[in-house]
């Protein structure tokens, strides 16, 4: 097995792959349908409009940033801190009414391969949804260290800014060229690429895969299972 990043990078030696940074929603948990429906419902409650399909395009933003986009559109200003708290609290409450989001098929088999390669596993999420963050440990026991999780509480600027992924690199103690990101959302892909990291996308939602390519994903897979199935081949193909 080669610990080599599958990337034709410059003229020098290939850097050694040391870490894989995973997004959470739509990558580790099949949670996006519930997120999208919750955002749509809560927006309506506050006299705002966000369709579930629009919610997929905002995936990866912090709750605060998503709320401000709506506030700007309908109120012509940012939401106050209190409005943000109230709206996000209600969104979380709404989300928690949905049945537990299942583990994304293929995610655990990919995690197992990554772990077997001796790579550091980091979670980088825009979410502050405690119900999901705590489920990382119970549903994927042995894969995630609490000190290697970046959530919305850790950064001021969320995705598509590079900050969450830069913090993920810092926590992993590695450089951008020593890591790979696994993302499912266009803004998440943008954030990862802005941080200088090779990015694989799994298109687990309703979006056209082209939006992930346009966002900068170097490779796009139709599902996490497809990415997991292709994983070992990614390394063989580039070291042959
Ligand atoms: Mg996601």
**What values do phi and psi take at 150, rounded to 5?**
-105, 120
Q: Please say if the pLDDT value at position 183 is more than 80.
A: yes
3-state DSSP call for residue 87?
Answer: helix
User: pLDDT: is 235 or 231 the higher one?
Assistant: 231
Amino acid 4: pLDDT: 47
For 78-119, the pLDDT digits (tens) are: 999 999 999 999 999 999 999 988 999 999 999 999 999 999
Start and end residues for every CATH 1.10.150.240 domain found in the chain: 32-95
pLDDT per position as a tens digit, 187-219: 999 999 999 999 999 999 999 999 999 999 999
**CA 240–ligand 1 middle distance (angstroms):** 32
Lowest model confidence (mean pLDDT) among 46-55, 131-140, 164-173: 131-140
Q: How far is the CA of 197 from the centre of ligand 1 (A)?
A: 16
Record the pTM.
Answer: 0.88
b vs e for 103-123, b when ≥16 Cβ sit within 10 Å of the residue's Cβ? bbebbbebbeebeebebbbbb
152 band by pLDDT with thresholds 50, 70 and 90: confident
C-alpha 189 – ligand 1 centre gap (Å): 9
> Where in the chain is CATH 3.40.50.1000?
19-30+103-234
* Percentage of residues of the chain with pLDDT beyond 90: 79
Mean pLDDT score, 40-50: 94
Residue 189 and residue 213 in contact, taking contact as beta carbons nearer than 8 Å: no
- Using the mean position of ligand 1's atoms as its centre, give its distance from the Cα of residue 26 in Å: 4
- pLDDT bin (cut points 50, 70, 90) of residue 2 is very low
Q: How far is the CA of 151 from the centre of ligand 1 (A)?
A: 12
Cα–Cα distance for residue pair 207/140, rounded to 1 Å: 27
CATH superfamily of the domain spanning 32-95: Putative phosphatase; domain 2 (1.10.150.240)
The alpha carbon of 183 and the centre of ligand 1 are apart by a number of angstroms equal to 6
- pLDDT at residue number 9: 52
Q: What would the mean pLDDT of 58-76 be, rounded to a whole number?
A: 93
In sequence order, what are the residues at sequence separation of 6 or more whose Cβ sits closer than 8 angstroms to the Cβ of residue 61? 69, 126, 158, 159, 160, 187
Q: Are 154 and 167 in contact (CB under 8 A)?
A: yes
User: CATH topology for 19-30+103-234?
Assistant: Rossmann fold (3.40.50)
Instruction: Tell me what percent of the residues of the chain surpass a pLDDT of 70.
Output: 92
| Displacement of CA 184 from its chain's centroid (Å) | 6
The SS3 of residue 168 is helix
CB contact set of 28 (below 8 Å; sequence gap of 6+): 22, 103, 104, 107, 123, 136, 140
Segments of the chain assigned E as strands:
19-22, 120-124, 149-150, 179-183, 198-202, 219-221
């Amino acid at each position: 097995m080669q610990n080599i990043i599958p990337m034709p990078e410059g003229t020098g030696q290939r850097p050694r792959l040391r870490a894989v940074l995973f997004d959470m929603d739509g990558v580790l948990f099949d949670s996006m349908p519930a997120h999208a429906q919750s955002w749509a419902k809560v927006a309506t409650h506050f006299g705002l409009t966000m369709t579930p399909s629009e919610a997929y395009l905002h995936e990866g933003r912090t709750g605060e940033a998503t709320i401000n986009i709506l506030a700007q559109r309908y109120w012509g200003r940012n939401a106050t801190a209190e409005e943000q708290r109230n709206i996000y609290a209600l969104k979380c409450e709404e989300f928690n009414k949905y049945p537990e989001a299942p583990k994304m098929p293929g995610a655990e088999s990919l995690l197992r391969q990554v772990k077997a390669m001796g790579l550091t596993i980091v979670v980088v999420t825009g979410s502050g949804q405690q119900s999901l963050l705590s489920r990382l440990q119970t549903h994927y026991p042995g894969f995630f260290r609490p000190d290697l999780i970046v959530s919305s509480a850790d950064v001021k600027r969320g995705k598509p800014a590079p900050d969450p992924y830069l913090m993920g690199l810092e926590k992993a103690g590695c450089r951008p060229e020593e890591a790979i990101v696994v993302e499912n959302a266009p803004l998440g892909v943008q954030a990862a690429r802005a941080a200088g990291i090779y990015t694989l996308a799994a298109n687990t939602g309703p979006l056209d895969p082209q939006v992930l390519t346009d966002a900068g994903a170097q490779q796009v897979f139709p599902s996490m299972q497809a990415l997991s199935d292709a994983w070992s081949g990614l390394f063989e193909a580039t070291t042959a």
